[in-house]
Chains A and B, each alone.
Chain A
């Protein structure tokens, strides 16, 4: 056994957690499931902390409920619960699908959505779904609470914009109304790391044969998870005809910045897959919206 930390704290409330991260012997870091963090510490990608502040006992971060016109998913809700939640399946199917694809149950019961976002990988499955679903994140810090669009939380691959003392409390998602649906799709490689070669999440609002509104995210399509707005624009307000889909694919290839990841996938391969994934996720969401 390797010793990866010296002090482990389990606060019960947000203020306690914020105090702990501030006052505990430094360096200190938040930990949720540890499925990214502990392996990062072990391999030296993350500096070895003195204190770990476990956020999974904070009730507020464990909530999963409808709040007003939004669905709230606590940052420390394990992705297993997200995947199985009828609420999430109803309002954010892409998110449920993404979370169901993460690892096996013994990891899914630990891994959290907050950790998935805070780890800031450009192709994290849960994160990509949240981005397409236009999620907002609630962030707590000693300076107060704020609610921000998810996209603002990322600086670069593996680099979160969250400050060291900033805690993700949870995510707010719009409730699905009739005609709205989402879908998630990814391609893995059987060899090598458990990161998708490419994933895609699509949310849309369907009015008759028209795409009234749409949100699209794909990872990795750049250094940070983000919406593909030009691709969305190519679809928004139009009927979903083969020509429109083709136009969206073209926009996608112009807009996204696919790159080669060594041992994983070449840019060329990703470009070939991008259109396929976009179309498959789009068609699935479209069909679902028709019955929603």
Chain B
């Protein structure tokens, strides 16, 4: 490979400004914009023309800039996201599209948003009054994993109207919470939305440091084997290569892991390779290309072994042991009553086995870490991570530093969904930075991302269910095999949740559940939105429909009859005392579904008039999901609030913002409690140097746990200010309050900067910190509460099956979610839409293929996440609010529950439409058609 770059100079106009730029051969327009012009609003999600995140306009037409050769931009006009907003006398004026995306809650993690807006901008240029079909046609390949497609659609329509009529952007109509306060429970755009629509929001890959090196990782690419030899001598000699590290060079810890430290940082010679993504060597060089070339120069000798690819096979006595303790990570048991006695009472007993495959998070932002060594010997790591303090612990252990010497500086995260809880590149970047003394960036390619990070557990679930003639459940027995892949990650916790939820949100007197979480040579499996419950809900909700069918009952009726309600006892023996909104979810969805069915039985197949090969029907499913870690794990979060001299209340916690909207929730809570205006509140997250430990962002816990901590910290601050001010201004404490952007004390109004100064002069810091401990829980198997709260949901999906081709379309979805209290209704809407989108992916579009331990679906072109064209015509959100006693204002988890019932609702609808039971996800249209034709 020739590597003497002959630079060329080109001229182009970007956002109205002419630039002469020197470019290297092989450069893309995306690279030119991001690296040479610093316009990092243009995002790179795939580099394969698949996701649309890099969309810019060239001469007025949208193009993907990631495959657009920079040379080709010579003499052209380029418009990027940075070129849309105007500056009027130092005042930022958003383009109506940007304004509409903000107001309509279309912005979640924000990573796709520049691409969405640019694609929409080009659409409106040609078509000022686009129909829904026009929008879908134009945005077909501009992917949003947060799935806020309906909001994106309505934002574009609102902007189009504003542009046509020259009027302000119309706002969406979103009802407030039934328990809304002054600001909590009322719709309000999230605080980071403006940065995200203008391209100013900084994600890790947008950062650059002087002298920064680029890292690459040599992956095993073999699912199972023993590393016999590794020769890096040639790579070390190469020009521009600053470090090549192998296991021999590890200064301290050799493994990492969130719970079990079983994951080698680098596999050493003589050691076992357990999956294709295992790291063998890491390289830092002055360009990404050179790093890549160095990888190619490393000689590897691997003795390949046959891979274990199936958990059942891995548990055979003669299977090779992948880990010292054997291949069984954990056997999880749930016992309630006497299951055989239960079956003996049953009038009907059914049994069936279901399969769910591996799923990939496919967050649009690939993993990126930048480690920056500090003069005092400490190490900063810039990364978007769901658990910054766990990163700190693991990075410190790997570097051999005390934890205080490592600072995780969280960045905007382009989606996580559970896939950014484990270590990805943090340790490797830090090791290279330590070895070279220079900043090191490690950005995963899309292929690497898809191959390396832990996925959703593929699970085989056998369900045996017994009921009385009237539909009342008497016994449920489940057996689950969860494929946890090469390393433990959060496998034990995930599969525990799958198991404890495997009898569904029903009161069943006799339950027996056994789950085996098993190591294999597949990519590791860990946390993924739904945390195991996605899998078991698919099985039990399919089974409930089969039972209804066997008993000749209505699918809604059988669920209503058995639904958990106040006073119910769960499978783990927990008595539900309050906050059980399942029945209300069921009833509201049912009413809406029947309304849309015009009095006909929604579960009866209906042929489309004039097109009898298109058959429609509804399907129904329910779910529950714990809020918080539970199971006896201490669940706490610390929040610090401080009034800053510039008159802003800063709320600090390491809890993570992955797009789900936590910063908005904390902003609203702090404003509500103090009386300040939300615009006076700033939320700082994910920085172990500046924010106290908010605990992991998982298990839908942050609104409840960190929300409470924020509420109490804000209350504490208000009290402290009241106490001080009442003395200082000589008025009763009740007469002291924040109002908007000032403090009112008696008849005086004090500007915030003044207040801060006065308090500081008096030797007081206007700052409080609160550690909130969630109500205590009990481990599985012990009496008492395993979880402090549950969220509940019901969904109905209407599908259309093409009986000639097997194709399935989702037409309408109704989604009711009991979230305790809607702290941020606009954010909740986005979460509900995104949950449905992800559920559609789970049911219909996503198929992660691993063949003999090798990942086949290693690019977005092969692993399809739902696009706007897969969205139903309507996602009807219904908010149900049965408060949890422990949550702030009664709020409980949102993030996961919204996605869980979608897949079984869809497969149940398919059954009602054409009588084919899907027991293996995703739905395969070919299998469906074959089933239809061989009947």
Instruction: Specify which chain A residues have a CB less than 8 angstroms from the CB of B72 in the assembled complex.
Output: 8, 10, 54, 56
Q: Does A152 contact B (CB under 8 A)?
A: no
Given contacts A8-B71, A104-B139, A263-B849, contact A2 B49 (CB under 8 A): no
Contact across chains for B926 and A104 when beta carbons are under 8 A apart: no
Instruction: Specify which chain B residues have a CB less than 8 angstroms from the CB of A56 in the assembled complex.
Output: 72
Contact across chains for A5 and B926 when beta carbons are under 8 A apart: no
Q: Does A246 contact B (CB under 8 A)?
A: no
Give complex CA distance A273, B864 in Å.
22
Q: Does B805 contact A (CB under 8 A)?
A: yes
Give complex CA distance A10, B8 in Å.
14
Contact across chains for A103 and B69 when beta carbons are under 8 A apart: no
Q: Does A63 contact B (CB under 8 A)?
A: no
Interface residues of A in 39-64 (CB under 8 A from B): 39, 42, 48, 50, 52, 54, 56
Instruction: Specify which chain B residues have a CB less than 8 angstroms from the CB of A109 in the assembled complex.
Output: 61-63
Instruction: Specify which chain B residues have a CB less than 8 angstroms from the CB of A1 in the assembled complex.
Output: 26-28, 31, 35, 288-289
Contact across chains for B926 and A194 when beta carbons are under 8 A apart: no
Give complex CA distance A52, B139 in Å.
30
Instruction: Specify which chain B residues have a CB less than 8 angstroms from the CB of A31 in the assembled complex.
Output: 69
Q: Does B724 contact A (CB under 8 A)?
A: no
Instruction: Specify which chain A residues have a CB less than 8 angstroms from the CB of B929 in the assembled complex.
Output: 269, 272-273
Contact across chains for B292 and A2 when beta carbons are under 8 A apart: yes
Partner of B289, one of A3, A187, A273: A3
Contact across chains for B138 and A105 when beta carbons are under 8 A apart: yes
Contact across chains for A110 and B67 when beta carbons are under 8 A apart: yes
Range, interface on chain B: 35 or more
Q: Does B894 contact A (CB under 8 A)?
A: no
Instruction: Specify which chain B residues have a CB less than 8 angstroms from the CB of A38 in the assembled complex.
Output: 67
Flag A175-186 by CB within 8 Å of B: 1 or 0 each: 000000000000
Q: In chain A, what residue has the closest Cβ to B23?
A: A8
Instruction: Specify which chain A residues have a CB less than 8 angstroms from the CB of B849 in the assembled complex.
Output: 263
Partner of B49, one of A39, A192, A269: A39
Partner of B141, one of A107, A189, A192, A265: A107
Interface residues of A in 267-285 (CB under 8 A from B): 268-269, 272-273, 276
Partner of B805, one of A6, A48, A276: A276
Partner of B861, one of A34, A194, A268, A272: A194
Interface residues of B in 776-830 (CB under 8 A from A): 804-807
Given contacts A104-B140, A266-B926, A273-B805, contact A110 B68 (CB under 8 A): yes
Q: In chain A, what residue has the closest Cβ to B840?
A: A190
Q: Does B436 contact A (CB under 8 A)?
A: no
Instruction: Specify which chain A residues have a CB less than 8 angstroms from the CB of B139 in the assembled complex.
Output: 104
Q: Does A7 contact B (CB under 8 A)?
A: yes
Flag A1-38 by CB within 8 Å of B: 1 or 0 each: 11111111010000000000000000000010011001
Contact across chains for B26 and A3 when beta carbons are under 8 A apart: yes
Instruction: Specify which chain A residues have a CB less than 8 angstroms from the CB of B224 in the assembled complex.
Output: none
Min CB gap A103→B, angstroms:
5
Given contacts A8-B71, A263-B849, contact A191 B922 (CB under 8 A): yes
Q: How many residues of A contact B (CB 8 A)?
A: 44
Min CB gap B488→A, angstroms:
29
Contact across chains for B26 and A34 when beta carbons are under 8 A apart: no
Q: Does A106 contact B (CB under 8 A)?
A: yes
Min CB gap A152→B, angstroms:
30
Contact across chains for A187 and B25 when beta carbons are under 8 A apart: no
Interface residues of A in 190-228 (CB under 8 A from B): 190-194
Contact across chains for B926 and A50 when beta carbons are under 8 A apart: no
Given contacts A1-B288, A2-B292, contact A34 B67 (CB under 8 A): yes
Contact across chains for A106 and B63 when beta carbons are under 8 A apart: yes
Q: Does B55 contact A (CB under 8 A)?
A: yes
Min CB gap A81→B, angstroms:
10
Flag A96-113 by CB within 8 Å of B: 1 or 0 each: 000010011111011000
Q: Does B92 contact A (CB under 8 A)?
A: no
Contact across chains for B142 and A106 when beta carbons are under 8 A apart: yes
Contact across chains for A106 and B69 when beta carbons are under 8 A apart: no
Q: Which of B67, B844, B857 has the most CB of A within 10 A?
A: B67
Interface residues of A in 231-274 (CB under 8 A from B): 263, 265-266, 268-269, 272-273
Give complex CA distance A5, B3 in Å.
11
Min CB gap A109→B, angstroms:
5
Given contacts A105-B138, A189-B925, contact A6 B26 (CB under 8 A): yes
Partner of B26, one of A4, A107, A193: A4
Q: Does B635 contact A (CB under 8 A)?
A: no
Given contacts A34-B67, A276-B805, contact A190 B141 (CB under 8 A): no
Q: Which of A1, A34, A189, A272 has the most CB of B within 10 A?
A: A1
Contact across chains for B926 and A269 when beta carbons are under 8 A apart: yes
Partner of B122, one of A4, A34, A105, A110: A105
Instruction: Specify which chain A residues have a CB less than 8 angstroms from the CB of B862 in the assembled complex.
Output: 192-193
Min CB gap A46→B, angstroms:
14
Min CB gap B44→A, angstroms:
9
Contact across chains for A269 and B930 when beta carbons are under 8 A apart: yes
Interface residues of A in 135-166 (CB under 8 A from B): none
Given contacts A110-B67, A194-B861, A269-B930, contact A104 B141 (CB under 8 A): yes
Instruction: Specify which chain B residues have a CB less than 8 angstroms from the CB of A187 in the assembled complex.
Output: 805, 807
Give complex CA distance A107, B1 in Å.
29
Min CB gap A220→B, angstroms:
15
Give complex CA distance A189, B31 in Å.
33
Instruction: Specify which chain B residues have a CB less than 8 angstroms from the CB of A2 in the assembled complex.
Output: 26, 47, 288-289, 292
Contact across chains for B141 and A191 when beta carbons are under 8 A apart: no
Contact across chains for A190 and B24 when beta carbons are under 8 A apart: no
Given contacts A7-B25, A105-B119, A269-B930, contact A39 B48 (CB under 8 A): yes
Min CB gap B242→A, angstroms:
19
Instruction: Specify which chain A residues have a CB less than 8 angstroms from the CB of B761 in the assembled complex.
Output: none
Q: Does B272 contact A (CB under 8 A)?
A: no
Contact across chains for B847 and A192 when beta carbons are under 8 A apart: yes
Interface residues of B in 60-76 (CB under 8 A from A): 61-64, 67-69, 71-72, 74
Give complex CA distance A109, B138 in Å.
12
Contact across chains for A5 and B26 when beta carbons are under 8 A apart: yes
Contact across chains for B67 and A39 when beta carbons are under 8 A apart: yes
Partner of A3, one of B25, B844, B857: B25
Contact across chains for B141 and A106 when beta carbons are under 8 A apart: yes
Give complex CA distance A243, B18 in Å.
66
Contact across chains for B64 and A110 when beta carbons are under 8 A apart: yes
Instruction: Specify which chain B residues have a CB less than 8 angstroms from the CB of A6 in the assembled complex.
Output: 2, 6, 25-26
Min CB gap B129→A, angstroms:
17
Contact across chains for A104 and B847 when beta carbons are under 8 A apart: no
Contact across chains for A104 and B922 when beta carbons are under 8 A apart: no
> A3-B26, A106-B62, A191-B847 are known contacts; what are 15 more A-B pairs with Cβ within 8 Å?
A1-B27, A1-B289, A3-B25, A6-B2, A6-B26, A8-B71, A42-B47, A42-B48, A48-B1, A105-B138, A106-B119, A106-B142, A107-B64, A189-B926, A269-B930
Question: Which 6 A-B residue pairs are closest in the complex by CB-CB distance?
Answer: A104-B141, A3-B26, A191-B847, A8-B71, A190-B845, A269-B926
Q: List 18 A-B contacts (CB under 8 A).
A: A1-B27, A1-B35, A3-B289, A5-B25, A7-B6, A10-B74, A42-B48, A104-B139, A104-B140, A104-B141, A105-B61, A105-B62, A105-B138, A106-B64, A107-B141, A191-B847, A273-B804, A273-B805
